[in-house]
Amino acid sequence: MHSTLSHADQATYNLIFIHPVAHNLEWTGIINIFNHLGMLEEQENNKLKFTRNGQTLTLHRKEKDLDVDDVFRLRHFLQASELVPQSPLDARRDVLVVLDHAGARIYRAGAEGSEPEMLVPLDPSGHDQQVHNPMGDSGGKQGPLRKLFHEALAAKLESAGRILLMGDGTGASSEMDHFTTELMSHHHKDLASRIVDKQICDISHMTEHDFAAKAKEFFHELELPKKTAM
C-alpha cells in the first residue's frame, strides 16, 4: 500500500491493475491519486498531464469514466514510473529477464531466494493477444499495448548492468527478438548494448530456483578468464 494514499484512493489505485480491466474508474479518483503520487497539470481541450519521477503521461478526459485504452496507458505509466530505491552498489546489477507472451520476470543476480519482479501485459479482452500474436495487427507491426509493455520493461531495466534474456520462442514468436528490435528503434540503444546474450529454453518447465541458478552460473562464467588458443 502507498503510505501517502487514503483507503479510498488506495482502492481506486488497485482498480487500475485488476483483471479483467475495470470499466468504472472515474477521473475524479485518478486526479486524487496523482495529487498525492505526482504532479497534475490541467491543459486545454480537457487534457490532463501527469508527471511522476521524471516521466510524463498526457490523457484526454472525454467522459466521466476512463476508457479501456486510458486504463492500460495509466497502468503501464504507473509501473514504469515506480521509483525503487537502490544503493550505489546495486545501481548496475546484472539481471536475468525471462520474457514470453505472458510478460516478464526480472531476476537480479546475487539475490537468490528473492521474488522476481513481474511485469504483465494485458489486452482489453484479457487474453494478451497483442503480445501473444505478433501478427495480431496490420502488417505484423507491434500493437500499441505491446509497445507500452516494452517501454515499461525498458524503464524497469534502465538501472541494470549486464542483461541476460531468456525465452522459449523463435522467429516471429520470439518476444526476446521483438523487445530488442523495439529497443534499437526507439532510442534505447544503450540499453540494448547491455544485453549480453539471448537464450532459448523450455521456460515452462523451469522453477524459480532454476532461473536464479542459471543467472548465477551465466554471470559467473562471464567473469572467468577467457581461454586463449594455443
Model pLDDT, residue 166: 93
Domain co-membership, 206 together with 172: yes
Domain co-membership, 14 together with 72: yes
pTM of the model as a whole: 0.55
Question: Mean pLDDT in the chain?
Answer: 78
Domain co-membership, 96 together with 133: yes
Is residue 1, in this structure, part of any structural domain at all? no
Q: Which residue has the higher pLDDT, 137 or 41?
A: 41
The Cα 97–Cα 103 span in angstroms is: 10
Number of domains the chain is built from: 2
**Averaged over 39-48, what is the pLDDT?**
88
Domain co-membership, 103 together with 216: yes
Domain co-membership, 125 together with 176: yes
The Cα 111–Cα 107 span in angstroms is: 8
Is residue 214, in this structure, part of any structural domain at all? yes
Q: Which residue has the higher pLDDT, 46 or 132?
A: 46
Q: Which residue has the higher pLDDT, 82 or 14?
A: 14
The 10s digit of each residue's pLDDT in 115-174 is 788 887 755 444 444 444 433 443 344 567 778 888 888 888 888 889 999 998 776 678
The Cα 15–Cα 24 span in angstroms is: 9
Model pLDDT, residue 87: 41
Domain co-membership, 67 together with 97: no
The 10s digit of each residue's pLDDT in 25-38 is 888 888 888 888 88
Is residue 45, in this structure, part of any structural domain at all? yes
Q: Which residue has the higher pLDDT, 3 or 76?
A: 76
The Cα 60–Cα 66 span in angstroms is: 9
Q: How confident is the model at residue 113 (pLDDT cuts 50, 70, 90)?
A: low
Domain co-membership, 51 together with 120: no
The 10s digit of each residue's pLDDT in 158-216 is 888 899 999 987 766 788 888 888 888 877 888 889 999 999 988 888 888 888 888 88
DSSP of the chain: --TTS-HHHHHHHHHTT-SSPPS--BHHHHHHHHHHHSEEEEETTTEEEEEETTEEEEEE--SSB--HHHHHHHHHHHHHT------GGGTT--EEEEEETTEEEEEETT-TTSPPEEE----TTSS-HHHH-TTSSGGGPPPHHHHHHHHHHHHHTTT-SSEEEEES--GGG-HHHHHHHHHHHTT-HHHHHTEEEEEE--GGG--HHHHHHHHHHHHHHHHSPPPPP-
